[in-house]
Amino acid sequence: MDADEEFDKAFEGFGEDKEPVTPEVEVPKEEEKPVEEVKEEAKEEPVKEEKAEEKAVEEPVKEEEKPVEEVKEEAKPLTRDDLKDVVSNLLNTERSSSKELESTTNDVLEKYYPDGLSNVLVDEQSGKELRTPQDVVDAAGGQMSTEEAAQWLMNEQFKLDKQVDKIKTDAKTIAETTVNFKRDASTAVEKYEPLFKAYPKLQEKVYEKLMKQVKIDQDKGVVLSAPDVMEFYSDWLEPYQQAYEFGKQQPATNPESKPEPAKPTAEDRMDVSGDGGPAPVNDPNDFAQQLTKELAKGA
């Protein structure tokens, strides 16, 4: 055998080894199934753990709700003495407010009508009082009969009485507006004291905004019209209050204080001058103090 034949025989069937490639493709297909099962098992395990964790989280929440219910159950009803105190405070406040309103009404009438009010008709020319029909006949120079004078007197007396009643009603309204404004001004400053201390310029700013809606008679020193001070402060200071309480984690207002008993006036004091001690220091940011000074200008 020559060299060429030996070479061909050595490589005989060399190209036929390429056909068995097909079985190698089937092997990865069979191996994909266990891969999927592993993935499913991997998904199921964390889900079970998450559910277990959720249960663990829910359990302490339920435990924290128990003390809240216990606190509510600790609330005690008002006793008989507590109710007496509440009623007594309300009555004292009402009496004090009634006296203050009556006194302020008289002050308003005195300022606007220094000569006083009278329900007696007066003849403009002679200055004589017209109390009877004969007074009217005399004031008319005998040009009116007694029946006509009686009818005229009744009509004019009705008009005068109605006019005087309106004046007194208006004076009481002005007095009530003035009293409420002064009281609420002091209450507002006391209530929002923590907020004003945190923002020193805020008190002056809200005061200026409020006074733009207030009408004061500077000559008489009374408040003719004004908005509800507490409502105005509540609406205007709401965003500042929320910001303060969010940042400080504490209330922006003081707790409501009990009403103080009425302070004695100069007439109630033992000394003649009614001196109550040294004058308070002028504070531009003290709303109640500045308001009192404004009203005192017309006194």
| pLDDT tens, the chain, 299 aa long | 555 565 566 555 555 544 444 444 444 444 454 444 444 444 444 444 444 444 444 444 444 555 444 445 565 676 766 665 666 655 555 566 788 899 999 999 999 999 999 999 999 888 999 999 999 999 999 889 999 999 999 999 999 999 999 999 999 999 999 999 999 999 999 999 999 999 989 999 999 999 999 999 999 999 999 999 999 999 999 999 999 999 999 999 998 766 555 555 554 444 444 444 455 566 655 555 665 666 565 54
Residue-level pLDDT at 214? 96
- Residue 98's pLDDT is 84
Q: Residue 48 has what pLDDT?
A: 47
Q: What pLDDT is stored for residue 6 in this prediction?
A: 58
Number of C-beta neighbours around residue 100 at 10 A? 17
The residues with which 215 forms a beta bridge, in sequence order, are: 225
Q: What is the 3-state secondary structure (H, E, C) of 156-222?
A: HHHHHHHHHHHHHHHHHHHHHHHHHHHHHHHHHHHHCHHHHHHCHHHHHHHHHHHHCCCEEECCCCE
Per-residue model confidence (pLDDT) at position 209: 95
Beta-carbon neighbour count of residue 42 at 10 Å?
9
In this prediction, residue 260 carries a pLDDT of 58
pLDDT attached to residue 94: 59
Stretch (H or E) spanning 94:
helix 80-112
Residue 12 carries which DSSP code?
T
Is the pTM higher than 0.75?
A: no
Task: Assess contact for 168 and 109: CB atoms under 8 A.
Answer: yes
